[in-house]
Structure 1
Amino acid sequence: MFDFAIIGGGIVGLSAAMALGQRYPDARILVLEKESDWAAHQTGNNSGVIHSGIYYKPGSFKAKFCRDGCRSMVVFCQEHNIAYEVCGKVIVATEEKELPLLENLYQRGLANGIEIAKMSGEEVKEIEPHVSCLAGIRVYSTGIADYRQVCQKYVELIRDRGGELRLNTRVEKILETPQGKVLETNQGTFTANFVINCAGLHSDRVARLGRVNPQAKIVPFRGEYYELKPEKRYLVKNLIYPVPNPNFPFLGVHFTRMIDGSVHAGPNAVLSFKREGYKKTDFDLWDFLETMTYPGLWKLAAKHADEGIKEIVRSFSKAAFVRSLQRLIPEVQSDDLLPTHAGVRAQALMDDGKLVDDFLIVEGRNALHVCNAPSPAATSSLEIGKEIAERVPAPQHLKIAVG
């Protein structure tokens, strides 16, 4: 019998397990991951950015957890000798119509307590010489890190506290019994007093296994990237972002210097026909039918048809992708870019067509279900883990750690 069972071995699930072990040092903790390695999906395929929290609605979980997580992630990397760098980034307006949106973003950053500064186009050029823009915002606290390395350290710390971690273990049923929650898996049966669902791309399905309706469905969006050839990396010093569409949850194609020195350009955002569909050709009939018959998807598509078409065109036309990047750096040419990895964003969507724009944690009977944790979940992972540990009712037989 375990005190806590966490379903999902991405950065959020591992952080939750770590936080529970810190809060309840004597707890028996189990982490179940269906893949053969940790952080195999959203975490392992993200851009590696330590986000500042500038984009998110003041007072939201994303705003608070990201701002605080930006700081705690840097401290964590320092303490555990994990590769990171606080390099800052610029967000730039390239057209007159974007200037009011840039101002709104600046005010939101101030409201969220982010260290930022307005910049003229000339000032942007001083730190990113190849960018062409009218104005910008400098975000000082943004950084980059190796999140796979972060997750490996989370795993070590969980094990050091006696936690049990199992790979290649897929949860197939969740049963409620007088003895506790019974998790039936492809590797046997486990019983726990409390279950935390951090299953990412499958979090809504796992919630329903536990007889909880999260009132939203995960719709997978693939984000495709190109990489600058090594001889062209000089075009990008750090991180360069456009002004995002405030009505769309994606930040637009941008340039990111990774912790290994490579520079990635992207991502776009296209509907995936498989929840773990990292290639254009990936297809799963059940995933496809579930997505395409969901009323919320068609309501979303109707509201954002123009943006959706642009994203699809960028997916199939390198020239269109390059034109989007040239808005930021006119010198970039098609021959400068090589295809690289893609990621899949687990985006929760309501049946009325509204995207869930905050982290969504749904309570069940002796369970918590994290049903929307896309970006900036990696940045926020330590804070999400703390929130989960604080929300779990204190077991009577376990003492809470002091300090």
Structure 2
Amino acid sequence: MAERIGIVGAGIVGLAIAQALARTGEFDVTVLEKESRVAMHQTGHNSGVVHAGLYYQPGSLKAELCAKGRAMTREYCQEHSLPYREAGKLVVALNAGEVPRLDEIQRRSVLNAVPDLARVSMARLREIEPHAAGVAALHSPHTAVVDYAAIAETLANQVRRAGGRVLLNQKVVAVESSAGSCRVSTSGTTHVFDRLVVCAGLHSDAIARLVGASDSPRILPFRGEYWSLAPERNDLVKGMIYPVPDPAFPFLGVHFTRGVYGETHVGPNAVPALAREGYSWGRISVRDTLESLRWPGAGALAKAHWKMGGKEIAASLFKPLYFKAAQAFIPELLPSDLRHKTTAGVRAQAWSKDGSLLDDFAVDQVGPVTLLRNAPSPAATSSMAIAEHVLANHLGIRT
């Protein structure tokens, strides 16, 4: 009898793990997803960027798995005729004060072997992005854009064709594990597995509590809101224009991305969501909000980031402030060019009891249960490499 392995969560990471297991032909694979379709949350609500690895601490899991994942994603899209476009990214310093941070990104990029990264002259910057402002820039020509939801659907179909199951509308409500098995109760039925892998994103800490794992790290949801650029103004952006990120803040700041289908979006910002699935200010969970406020690290986090947080919230509520942040990179931008807000995404950001936000990917093991505790960006880029890592290092499976 084949070993039974369950995966909680049908986002791109959970499906990549399921596909890697199913293609061996040696396991009975079942994916449990609480929604009515795959890729409903982080996978289906992001910018679609395939990151090249510019920002990540050299030697970290993020740096290692992003590099591997980028190549694997490119190959997968080619193999399955999915859209993949190397749009290229400019990271732009707007003033001399940002240049040292740009230098640090360049240093990390070299150590991370980012392919063909170049420091460009102002003349070259204008060739790449004719409408962009800035005093210095890095160009990553192989940063790409894809449709991650389409990739997730393809992975799910591969799991099914290999004999696995992707079961929808299966919200996990209880987990009982022993040395040799896991009994997983859902809103629909009960499943018994030999091993379980949890890739629950925004609910990863909640499932961890069901398993009996440590309550730290906790998930702090951050909403990222995008504005769409008026279609007739898409020529303002050729590829991607990014700011130099603040190293003290785990988000990249408002930027411009020309998507894989030719559309251009501006953003995201990063504001605290008032619910795990708080895709708008009107979506509020008193329970989720109180859990965040009562977390031991809440005070330290607020003290460290209140100023940045205030700016992000203000820009979310007042379009002129959001526009001002965007116009700094494209002076020709007009308020009317930000046509409307598109669907927002919510990032599952893990944070510790001391208030620090976890930067690297984090995986825990509790008996037969493997828990992905922190898998923010570039998790989509890295998904297939994360699958390899989990199989080899946590499940003891070589593919």
For the aligned pair, the TM-score class normalised by the smaller chain equals over 0.9
Counterpart of 1:225?
226
User: What is the aligned counterpart of 1:360 among 349, 359, 362?
Assistant: 362
Corresponding position of 1:242: 243
Moved over 2 A (4+): 176-179, 391-395
Which residue in 2 is equivalent to 1:329?
A: 330
Three-state SS of the structure 1 residue aligned to 2:221 is strand
Contact 2:298 2:355 in 1 (8 A): yes
Residue aligning to 1:293? 294
Which residue in 2 is equivalent to 1:34? Answer: 34
1-structure distance, mates of 2:135, 2:179 = 64
How do residues 155-174 of structure 1 correspond to structure 2 at under 5 angstroms? 155-174=156-175
Aligned to 1:342: 344
Cα contact 2:365–2:394 (8 A) shared by 1: no
User: Contact 1:54 / 1:108 at 8 angstroms: preserved in 2?
Assistant: yes
Aligned counterparts of 1:394 and 1:132: Cα–Cα separation in 2 = 50
CA, structure 1 residues 121+75, in 2 after alignment: closer, same or farther (shift >3 Å)? same
User: Percent same amino acid among aligned pairs?
Assistant: 41
**Distance in 2 (alpha carbons) for counterparts of 1:316 and 1:183:** 41
**Inter-partner Cα distance in structure 1 for 2:125 and 2:38:** 39
> Cα gap change, 1:268/1:178 in structure 2, threshold over 3 Å: closer, same or farther?
closer
Distance in 1, matches of 2:43 and 2:160, equals: 20
**What is the aligned-residue RMSD (CA, Å)?**
1.3
Q: TM-score, structure 2 length as denominator? A: 0.97
C-alpha separation in 2, matches of 1:136 and 1:393 = 42
1:7 Cα deviation (Å)? 0.4
**TM-superposed deviation, 1:214:** 5.3
2:147–2:260 Cα contact (<8 Å) kept: yes
Would the aligned equivalents of 2:178 and 2:367 in 1 still touch at CA under 8 Å? no
* Structure 1 residue 285: Cα displacement: 1.5
Q: What is the 5 A alignment of 1:257-276? A: 257-276=258-277
Q: What are the within-5 Å matches in structure 2 for residues 369-388 of structure 1? A: 369-388=371-390
In 1, distance between residues paired with 2:396 and 2:199?
A: 20
Change (3 A) 1:214 1:143: farther
Mean Cα displacement is larger for which, 331-340 or 231-240? Answer: 331-340
Tell me the alpha carbon deviations over residues 198-225 of structure 1, each in whole angstroms, 9 at most, x when there is no partner. 0000001101100111521000000011
Deviations 1:57-90 (A, max 9, x none): 0011110111111111011000000011012110
The residue number in structure 1 matching 2:82 is: 82
- Check the 8 A contact 1:49/1:379 in 2, yes or no: yes
**Paired residue secondary structure (2:5):** strand
| CA distance in structure 1 between the partners assigned to 2:332 and 2:179 by the alignment | 66
Aligned residues: 396
TM-score after normalising by structure 1:
0.96
- The CA distance in 2 between the partners of 1:91 and 1:179, in whole Å, is 49
* Unmatched runs of 5 consecutive residues or more in structure 2: none
Offset at 1:391?
2.5
Whichever residue aligns with residue 59 of structure 1, its letter is G
